[in-house]
Chain A
Amino acid sequence: MEPEVVEAELVLPSYFSFKRVQMYEKYPKGQARGRHWKHLKQIIQAENYQNYPPDEPNYVNIESPPSMHPCKRICDITGFEAPYYDPRTNLRYANTDVFKIVRSLPNDYVQRYLSLRNAQVVLK
């Protein structure tokens, strides 16, 4: 390692005196990267929230409900108010100038703009 890297103590050492179980003991090298930790979706499923009274707060039921306000639509490209929508690309646009841009966009850009609001085409 380069001296400046060593000096900055950039690299996390593998041994710490204050640990009872070291990292290399817990996740031995060569084995398939230790344990697979559950993702949030799996954690929530394992919590079995449906077995508990619904008025008891839990991670799932404290989520905000969908908004009751009328949805403000903005132009995907400029951010202006968007009264129009292009049925070919599914992009919302503000005026004719933006429409010209919309129609000249290559498809991957269209998809990237759509993915900003999670509306892109997903192939499964």
Chain B
Amino acid sequence: MPFISKIDRQSDYNLFPSSTPIVIDNGASYFRIGWAGESEPRVVFRNIVQRPRHKVTGETITIVGDHDPALFKYFDCSRSGPRSAFENNVVSQFEIMEYVLDFGFDRLGANGSKIDHPVLITECVCNPVQSRRNMAELLFETYGVPSIAFGVDAAFSYKYNEQQGVCAKDGLALCPGFITTHVIPFVDGEPVYKGCCRTNVGGFHVTDYLKQLLSLKYPYHFARFTWEKVEDLKMEHCYIAPDYASEARLFQKGAKEAEEKTRCWQLPWVPPPTEQPPSEEEIARKAAIRERQGQRLREMAEAKRSSKINELENELQGLDFLLHQLDQVEESDIPSFLSETGYVSRQEIESAHNKVTQSLRKAKGEPKNEQVETEKADLSTDEKYSLVNIPDDMLTPEQLNEKKKQLAIKSMSEGRQRLKQKRYEEELERERKQQLEEEKRLENPELYLEQLHARYKDLSERVDQQKRLKTNGGNTNGNNLSGSVGRGERLNAAQRERMRLLTTAAFDRGKGEDTFGARDEDWQLYKLMSKDNNDDDDGPDEDEAELARVSSRLVDLDPTFIPKVEAGTSQPAEVPRSRPLTKEDFQIFLGLERSRCPEILFNPNWIGVDQAGLDEMTGVSIRRLGYKDEGFEERLTSSILMTGGSSLFPGMVERLESGIRMLRPCGSTIKITRALNPIMDAWRGAAKYASDSQFRTQTFSRMDYYEKGEDWLRHYQLKYTL
């Protein structure tokens, strides 16, 4: 892991004399601050600022750099992501820069009234003067810095490596950084900006490309691909293929090497609890429990029944006894005797007796023996309806009443009889039909099935259409159920018609003379207008019943048939059960992506940047220098230094060499070396530079700045060789 933050507060700030410069490598990805002359920066952190909200108190706070992600659970970061002061390697957002500097100086241990040390801070090549001026003003006015020097990080790195004997005085520094990639030619130990070139592609784009590709490839694990995680994946797994085209062909063929090159990232996955088939004992135990419960229920029902029988028998006995007594009581005493018992007449007691006997029989579970009863009823019809056939004028008022009652009872029982008869006939009819169909089926099963299918389709279409008409395509937002129609709702056909009638009635006034009501049909209008008009469904639809019948028959006969789920009902159709997720669903494969992503440094047009790639840039740089001297150009290419974070990809040097070889004349020497530490060397070079006794001559103070003005600042350039 090449990038590690160090953010512990330093305690020895006051031990340094005010002449010791503070060295800042203000890189787009990392901010490094430390003391001149030391070999390591004291404080290193990501050059970002976040302004999340505290979840409890709701206050917005400022967080600089990267911290333990576990601490971020107290903050709501959804409103603002990490922000950088940089835009294409140029510092443009100075408010953010100020937060970063605050944090940097604070962690370096600064505690005086101002930063009383010269500052050497890095900037990009050919930094626009406005950015440089703002930075200078910020350091002078806010922090009280006595003097400043600006230098280029890649140049410091090159000089540092030159002093360590890695590269020569004449050479090229290739610096694929975080946002941009620079090539800086060095002549006689000094960078020549005339020959510089910059492509706006860097490590940031590589990570972003990988992140996008992965989240497109695995949309379900989108949340897993955080910036930090993908950055880690990039640094761990990405490499640069010697020849991308052949690498891609390897993967396309699915060769063995490609398989070996594929990396797999297993996301945390817990296998779902496997459902064990219940054991024998379990089944037995459950059955026993069910049996016991059933037994108990049966016993309860039995007890209830017996108690009911008991009760009824007691009542019957009572009634029998009463009747018996009644027989013994003299005729004249009957009313007084009856008044004690609560019955009005002997008849009443008999009917009660009858009722109880019947219910007792029912409770005991004896067959009702209807046939007998009906016969009995037939026999007794004459006496039951004794008064029906007698003309009214021959009866007393009580008898008249009685007659009415008898008439009602008679018509009712007759109606019941008729209904029974009808049902019976229908049953017969249905059976006959079924038999007919069965015969048809046996005759030619396929044809029959086909016909059935056709009929089903036809019916279901018709039913659907009817429904659509009723609900107007189901567009009533489910409000149709409540019967009322809201303002913005669609109306069904009947409701629309009603509305039309109402409006025409409302606006029909005053047009000629009023003839409403002259004809009888006019009054029909009110019936149409009435609200109840729309619930006109006359019982279950015939079509629907037929459809149900056909579909049930189809289910019986055709195992492949699936009845259509009723659309338009409020319950959503049941979602098909997905297969259980397996371990393989939680694997992220990095195949060709491993080499595809860093390849954009060589082919920026893959991410839509129409500029030359890293290898071509060296050619552009040499051309821009314009020396036209073979020997000199060869000197340059024999001392190429790679620095910057993105030069860490494995295979970078080999790929670059083959790329540059294509540009150079045959047989020229090309020597590419990676810097001792491509990430730290810029700071180390700057620290070494700032510790030189001649460093003072390269800085400028606040007075210089205000005296010499902006035009001078524009041309300000450090001498890297002291």
Which residues on A are within 8 Å of B, measured CB to CB? 1-2, 4-5, 8-13, 16-21, 23, 26-27, 34-35, 37-40, 43-44, 46-47, 55, 57-59, 62-69, 71-72, 74, 78-81, 94-95, 109, 112-113, 116-119
Query: In the complex, which of the residues A23, A58, A80, A116 contacts B607, with contact meaning CB atoms closer than 8 Å?
Result: A116
A112 to B209, CA, bound (A): 11
Establish whether residues A1 and B102, one from each chain, have CB atoms under 8 Å apart when the complex forms: no
Establish whether residues B193 and A81, one from each chain, have CB atoms under 8 Å apart when the complex forms: no
Chain B residues near A65: list those with CB within 8 A. 611-612, 620
A41 to B88, CA, bound (A): 10
Establish whether residues B68 and A8, one from each chain, have CB atoms under 8 Å apart when the complex forms: yes
Query: In the complex, which of the residues A4, A11, A64 contacts B611, with contact meaning CB atoms closer than 8 Å?
Result: A64
Query: In the complex, which of the residues A8, A23, A59, A71 contacts B102, with contact meaning CB atoms closer than 8 Å?
Result: A23
Interface residues of B in 116-130 (CB under 8 A from A): 124-130
Establish whether residues B248 and A38, one from each chain, have CB atoms under 8 Å apart when the complex forms: no
For the complex with contacts A35-B95, A63-B199, 17 further pairs of A-B residues with Cβ separation under 8 Å are A8-B68, A11-B61, A16-B110, A17-B112, A37-B92, A47-B129, A55-B194, A57-B194, A62-B126, A64-B198, A67-B604, A79-B248, A79-B251, A80-B249, A80-B592, A95-B252, A116-B213
Chain A residues near B245: list those with CB within 8 A. 72, 81
Tell me, yes or no, whether B310 is within 8 Å of chain A by CB. Answer: no
Known contacts being A9-B9, A57-B194, A72-B245, is A37 close to B93, with CB within 8 Å? Answer: yes
Chain B residues near A8: list those with CB within 8 A. 67-68, 71
Known contacts being A18-B105, A20-B144, A37-B93, is A63 close to B198, with CB within 8 Å? Answer: yes
Establish whether residues B98 and A23, one from each chain, have CB atoms under 8 Å apart when the complex forms: yes
A2 to B70, CA, bound (A): 12
Chain B residues near A55: list those with CB within 8 A. 194
Establish whether residues B216 and A71, one from each chain, have CB atoms under 8 Å apart when the complex forms: no
Encoded as 1 (CB less than 8 Å from any A CB) or 0, chain B from 228 to 262 comes to 00000000000000001100110110000000000
| Closest chain B residue, CB of each to CB of A41 | B87
Establish whether residues B196 and A67, one from each chain, have CB atoms under 8 Å apart when the complex forms: no
Tell me, yes or no, whether B688 is within 8 Å of chain A by CB. Answer: no
Known contacts being A34-B95, A58-B126, A59-B128, is A12 close to B244, with CB within 8 Å? Answer: no
A72 to B90, CA, bound (A): 30
Q: Which 4 A-B residue pairs are closest in the complex by CB-CB distance?
A: A118-B608, A40-B87, A57-B193, A79-B596
Establish whether residues B74 and A67, one from each chain, have CB atoms under 8 Å apart when the complex forms: no
A21 to B131, CA, bound (A): 20
Query: In the complex, which of the residues A4, A10, A11, A18 contacts B143, with contact meaning CB atoms closer than 8 Å?
Result: A18
Q: Can you spell out 26 A-B residue pairs with CB atoms less than 8 angstroms apart? A: A2-B74, A11-B61, A12-B63, A16-B105, A18-B115, A38-B130, A43-B131, A46-B130, A47-B130, A59-B128, A62-B193, A62-B197, A62-B198, A63-B611, A64-B199, A64-B611, A64-B616, A64-B620, A66-B612, A67-B604, A67-B610, A69-B613, A72-B245, A116-B607, A117-B605, A118-B609
Establish whether residues A59 and B126, one from each chain, have CB atoms under 8 Å apart when the complex forms: yes
Chain A residues near B143: list those with CB within 8 A. 18-20
- Residues of chain B at interface, number, CB under 8 A: 76
A95 to B199, CA, bound (A): 32
| Closest chain B residue, CB of each to CB of A44 | B128
Query: In the complex, which of the residues A1, A11, A38, A116 contacts B62, with contact meaning CB atoms closer than 8 Å?
Result: A11
Chain B residues near A57: list those with CB within 8 A. 126, 193-194, 196
Known contacts being A38-B130, A116-B213, A118-B608, is A18 close to B95, with CB within 8 Å? Answer: no
Known contacts being A62-B198, A63-B611, is A20 close to B67, with CB within 8 Å? Answer: no
Chain B residues near A68: list those with CB within 8 A. 612, 616
A88 to B144, CA, bound (A): 61
Residue of A19, A94, A118 with most chain B CB atoms under a 10 A cut-off: A19
Which residues on B are within 8 Å of A, measured CB to CB? 9, 54, 57, 61-64, 67-68, 71, 74, 87-88, 90, 92-95, 98-99, 102-103, 105-106, 110-115, 124-131, 141-144, 193-194, 196-200, 209, 212-213, 216, 244-245, 248-249, 251-252, 592-593, 596, 603-613, 616-617, 620
Chain B residues near A21: list those with CB within 8 A. 141-142
Shortest beta-carbon distance, B53 to chain A, in Å? 12
Shortest beta-carbon distance, B613 to chain A, in Å? 6
Establish whether residues A81 and B87, one from each chain, have CB atoms under 8 Å apart when the complex forms: no
Chain B residues near A2: list those with CB within 8 A. 74
A10 to B50, CA, bound (A): 11
A107 to B607, CA, bound (A): 20
A5 to B99, CA, bound (A): 19
A71 to B613, CA, bound (A): 11
Chain A residues near B103: list those with CB within 8 A. 12
| Closest chain A residue, CB of each to CB of B112 | A18
Establish whether residues A20 and B141, one from each chain, have CB atoms under 8 Å apart when the complex forms: yes
Chain A residues near B213: list those with CB within 8 A. 116
Shortest beta-carbon distance, B259 to chain A, in Å? 15
A80 to B103, CA, bound (A): 46
| Closest chain A residue, CB of each to CB of B105 | A18
Query: In the complex, which of the residues A18, A44, A64 contacts B113, with contact meaning CB atoms closer than 8 Å?
Result: A18
Chain B residues near A23: list those with CB within 8 A. 98-99, 102
Chain B residues near A67: list those with CB within 8 A. 603-605, 610-613, 616
Query: In the complex, which of the residues A4, A59, A117 contacts B608, with contact meaning CB atoms closer than 8 Å?
Result: A117
Residue of A23, A26, A63 with most chain B CB atoms under a 10 A cut-off: A63
Establish whether residues B110 and A119, one from each chain, have CB atoms under 8 Å apart when the complex forms: no
Residue of A13, A37, A113 with most chain B CB atoms under a 10 A cut-off: A37
A80 to B105, CA, bound (A): 49
A37 to B127, CA, bound (A): 16
Chain A residues near B131: list those with CB within 8 A. 43
Shortest beta-carbon distance, A21 to chain B, in Å? 5
Shortest beta-carbon distance, B182 to chain A, in Å? 8
Chain A residues near B102: list those with CB within 8 A. 12, 16, 19, 23
Chain B residues near A16: list those with CB within 8 A. 102, 105-106, 110
Shortest beta-carbon distance, A4 to chain B, in Å? 6
Shortest beta-carbon distance, B177 to chain A, in Å? 14
Chain A residues near B128: list those with CB within 8 A. 43-44, 47, 58-59
A18 to B141, CA, bound (A): 11
Query: In the complex, which of the residues B125, B212, B252 contacts A80, with contact meaning CB atoms closer than 8 Å?
Result: B252
Establish whether residues B606 and A5, one from each chain, have CB atoms under 8 Å apart when the complex forms: no
| Closest chain B residue, CB of each to CB of A61 | B126
Shortest beta-carbon distance, A10 to chain B, in Å? 5
Chain A residues near B608: list those with CB within 8 A. 116-119
A55 to B605, CA, bound (A): 27
Shortest beta-carbon distance, A91 to chain B, in Å? 12
Establish whether residues A40 and B212, one from each chain, have CB atoms under 8 Å apart when the complex forms: no
Establish whether residues B92 and A38, one from each chain, have CB atoms under 8 Å apart when the complex forms: yes
Shortest beta-carbon distance, A3 to chain B, in Å? 11
Known contacts being A10-B67, A11-B63, A12-B63, is A62 close to B114, with CB within 8 Å? Answer: no
Establish whether residues A4 and B126, one from each chain, have CB atoms under 8 Å apart when the complex forms: no
